[in-house]
Amino acid sequence: MSDEVSGKGGAPAWLPFDLLGHPVPANKGAKARPQHAPTAENLEKIIILLGMGRSEADCAAAIGLSVPTMKKHYFSHAEVRKAKRHAGLVLEAELLARLNEQSLAGKTSATEKLLKRLDKARLGPVPTAQTRASKRKGVKEERRDAAYDAGRGDDGWGPLLHGEIGRTLPN
């Protein structure tokens, strides 16, 4: 009965949160360094940073952890690993859902932003103008392309070459 009521160091074993609402680590009161307690806020920060294209090291530094500790506490579940792989899509979907909710509530600015995003998605990526330095062909490439283009069109030599193969030329 006493094991059910109190944990290590006299702290109640059944109390998962402290008075401020923070989760209590399992080794609370032990001599070792306290174990990191994952929070939903830190998970949101990590997903947002990954969606922005930041590295795992940047995400770990933002919440004050090492990369292995971050992986241990935040990427141990399959749903979180899936969200990590598709963080950009998760953020985009959440943003579109929020814009849709606000649009349905009657906010015209949210409706305009939602329509702009939908139009942008429908049009696809914007083509970039090619500069001379980025796609300039070399001499060999130009000659190869010219030879290919010359062989594509029939300029009258085809029937002469094919018909004259078996005949010997006069001296």
Take residue 49 and report the two structure tokens written for it: 């940073």
| Residue 135 included in any domain | no
| Residue 20 included in any domain | yes
Nearest to 74, CA basis, from 107, 110, 50: 50
Same domain, 44 and 80: yes
Structural domain containing residue 103: 87-123
**Over the stretch 90-130, which tens digit does the pLDDT of each residue have?**
888 888 899 999 999 999 998 898 888 888 877 766 666 55
Question: Apex CA 147: angle with CA 142 and CA 150, to 5°?
Answer: 125
| Residue 11 included in any domain | yes
Does this model's pTM top 0.75? no
Same domain, 55 and 65: yes
